[in-house]
């Protein structure tokens, strides 16, 4: 099974049908275990108290927000270079998920920031760049909706997605380049994680659960998009097969509407 | 190619008031700031460079949706795509003409408008210089958005939404170079060089991406 075998949407849908129940079970199990660890096993922070538990949602959501964009960018390369039909679908399916996770990261960050920093929002580099990411997601979703023809929309979106990758790089390194309120990275560092394992393990579990959640949502949303395209194709076929019938009904209906 | 530049320049100048309308809009944006934040000259001179940069950014966005759309409507875009010349080069020349017709007047108007926000001489020079270097980058990034939204009937708003996030790095380095110079001259060079780099980067990426988008819309 290679990437090219998946180019056939029917085969892809078959694979999704097999995979999806397992993925849903795995996601629910991972979320349950992760949340249990996060809320009951992980210790309170000596400075932040209970509010540190927001981190177990905040950090994975932020990671996924970037991962969705990476997924979108990879899919864009796929649809521009190889014209893989499912790459379009994948790129389109990632955008709303990415926007949702970006919003979750911003929202959880805001309610964490209030007790910790004394404010819901600061114009800090990481926060600001995440807001920009959110605007980009919304812009891309709007662009998908604005162009009727899905193939043209995919190409245009791929171009703007790839141009926007530069901002993702800025977001990733913003906390290292500009020393502001948001803390620098503490998990993936050259000299090893700077967090005690009692917090790191629940965080890892939650990150895993969120990745599973993303894969599940992404596959479901790709499936929906393929279905939606099939409906669109069927409608167009139906419209082109029976133009005479439909036009006659229109001419009959028109005077009734005019009156 | 030179003919194209001249044609584009003249078209941009004659359609809808041309350069004057952009400068007028710039003036209007700068004027509403003192009404918004209050007529405090000290405060205004501190944020003056930022006001000018945001005004220039908005004024640039204003005319961008016409960059390719007018040509698409009368069919000359198709001719340019099919002419066999490199479409990237055509886009670059269109951007250059657009910048000369709308961006350059903004830069020229900047010293005058700087007086309204109470900048001193050094700051005026720096803001004008950063805008001179940075405004082409705004046009080039905007060209990508203009190419992407060319086939839409009312793409102007969507264009702004798509382009503003991409223009933020330019704004950051432009404003930090313009204001750092006023406070501490040591910090000027680094953001200024970043701004130059962004313009050069835009010179490469902008025409490539915009041309790709135009080819898609021509299908």
Cα angle vertex A226, ends A223, A229, to 5°?
A: 150
pLDDT tens digits, one per residue of B115-135: 888 778 888 888 888 889 888
Cα angle vertex B162, ends A80, B216, to 5°?
A: 35
CA of B160: which chain A residue's CA is closest? A139
Residues in chain A: 259
CA B188 to chain centre: 22
Task: Give how far Cα A228 sits from Cα of A73, A145, A164, A231, B38, Å.
Answer: 22, 13, 27, 5, 53
Q: Given a cut of 60, is residue A156 above it in pLDDT?
A: yes
Q: Given a cut of 90, is residue A36 above it in pLDDT?
A: no
**B67-79 burial code (b ≥16 CB/10 A, e <16):** bbbebbeeeebee
Element (H, E) at B159: helix B156-183
Shortest distance, CA A132 to any CA of chain B (angstroms):
6
Task: Give pTM, 2 decimals.
Answer: 0.78
**pLDDT value at position A183?**
61
Shortest distance, CA A89 to any CA of chain B (angstroms):
18
Residue B6 CA to residue B16 CA, distance in Å, equals 17
A-chain CB neighbours of B164 within 8 Å are 135
Shortest distance, CA B14 to any CA of chain A (angstroms):
30
Please answer whether residues B209 and B146 qualify as being in contact, where contact means their C-beta atoms are separated by less than 8 angstroms: no
| Contact between A147 and B165 using a beta-carbon 8 Å cutoff | no
Q: Is A72 exposed, middle or buried (0-12, 13-18, 19+ CB in 10 A)?
A: buried
Best-predicted range by mean pLDDT (A31-45, A82-96, A196-210, B177-191): A82-96
Residue A17 CA to residue B128 CA, distance in Å, equals 60
**pLDDT value at position B28?**
87
Contacts of A160 (CB under 8 A, 6+ apart): A139, A140, A143, B144, B145, B148, B162, B209, B213
Structure tokens at B21: 């309308």
More confident residue, A133 or B6: A133
Please answer whether residues B118 and B44 qualify as being in contact, where contact means their C-beta atoms are separated by less than 8 angstroms: yes
Q: Is A169 on the interface with B (CB under 8 A)?
A: no
**pLDDT value at position B47?**
82
pLDDT tens digits, one per residue of B76-90: 777 777 777 788 888
Structure tokens at A194: 């700077």
Closest listed residue to residue B155, CA positions, set B145, B143, B140: B145
pLDDT band at B183 (very low <50, low <70, confident <90, very high): low
Structure tokens at A13: 């849908």
Structure tokens at B199: 């313009």
Q: Best mutation site among A163, A164, A167, A172 for testing chain B: the one with the most B CBs within 10 Å? A: A163
pLDDT tens digits, one per residue of A40-56: 777 666 666 667 777 88
| Contact between B148 and A164 using a beta-carbon 8 Å cutoff | no
Closest listed residue to residue A211, CA positions, set A10, A86, A70: A70
**pLDDT value at position A256?**
42
Task: Give how far Cα A188 sits from Cα of A117, A184, B36, B176, Å.
Answer: 24, 10, 44, 30
Residue A119 CA to residue A132 CA, distance in Å, equals 19
Closest listed residue to residue A41, CA positions, set A198, A210, A206, A209: A198
ipTM of the complex as predicted: 0.73
The mean per-residue pLDDT over the stretch A120-127 comes to 75
Residue in the structure block whose two tokens are 């939204």 = B149
What is chain A's mean pLDDT, rounded? 78
Q: Is A141 on the interface with B (CB under 8 A)?
A: no
Q: Is A132 on the interface with B (CB under 8 A)?
A: yes
């Amino acid at each position: 099974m290679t990437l090219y075998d998946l180019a056939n949407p029917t085969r892809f849908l078959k694979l999704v049908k097999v995979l999806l129940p397992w993925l849903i079970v795995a996601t629910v199990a991972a979320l349950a275990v992760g949340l249990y660890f996060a809320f009951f096993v992980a210790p309170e922070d000596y400075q932040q108290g209970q509010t540190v538990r927001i981190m177990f949602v905040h950090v994975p959501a932020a990671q996924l927000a970037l991962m969705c964009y990476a997924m979108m960018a990879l899919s864009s390369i796929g649809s521009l270079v190889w014209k893989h039909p499912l790459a379009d679908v994948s790129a389109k399916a990632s955008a709303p998920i990415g926007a949702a996770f970006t919003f979750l990261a911003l929202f959880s960050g805001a309610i964490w920031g209030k007790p910790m920093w004394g404010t819901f929002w600061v114009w800090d580099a990481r926060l600001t760049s995440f807001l920009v990411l959110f605007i980009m997601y919304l812009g891309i979703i709007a662009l998908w909706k604005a162009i009727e023809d899905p193939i043209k929309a995919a190409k245009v979106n791929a171009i703007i997605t790839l141009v926007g990758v530069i901002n993702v790089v800025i977001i990733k390194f913003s906390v290292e380049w500009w020393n502001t309120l948001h803390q620098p990275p503490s998990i993936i560092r050259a000299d090893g994680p700077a967090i005690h394992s009692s917090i790191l393990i629940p965080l890892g579990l939650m990150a895993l659960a969120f990745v599973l959640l993303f894969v599940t949502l992404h596959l479901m949303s790709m499936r929906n998009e393929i279905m939606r395209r099939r409906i669109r194709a069927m409608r167009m076929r139906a419209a082109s097969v029976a133009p005479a019938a439909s036009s006659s009904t229109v001419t009959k209906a028109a005077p009734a509407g005019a009156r | 190619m030179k003919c194209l530049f001249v044609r584009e320049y003249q078209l941009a100048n004659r359609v809808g008031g041309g350069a004057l309308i952009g400068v007028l809009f710039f003036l209007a944006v700068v004027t509403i700031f003192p009404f918004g934040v209050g007529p405090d000259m000290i405060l205004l001179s501190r944020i003056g460079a930022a006001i000018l940069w945001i005004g220039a950014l908005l004024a640039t966005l204003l005319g961008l949706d016409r960059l390719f759309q007018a040509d698409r409507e009368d069919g000359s875009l198709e001719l340019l795509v099919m002419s066999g010349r490199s479409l990237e080069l055509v886009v670059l020349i269109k951007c250059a003409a657009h910048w000369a017709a709308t961006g350059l007047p903004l830069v020229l108007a900047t010293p005058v408008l700087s007086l309204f926000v109470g900048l001193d001489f050094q700051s005026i020079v720096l803001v004008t210089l950063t805008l001179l270097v940075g405004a082409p980058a705004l046009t080039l990034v905007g060209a990508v958005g203009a190419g992407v939204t060319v086939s839409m009937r009312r793409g102007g708003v969507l264009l702004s939404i798509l382009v503003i996030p991409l223009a933020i790095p330019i704004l950051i380095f432009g404003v930090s170079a313009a204001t750092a110079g006023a406070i501490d001259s040591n910090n000027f060079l680094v953001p200024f060089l970043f701004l130059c780099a962004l313009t050069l980067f835009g010179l490469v990426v902008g025409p490539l991406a915009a041309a790709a988008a135009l080819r898609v819309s021509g299908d």
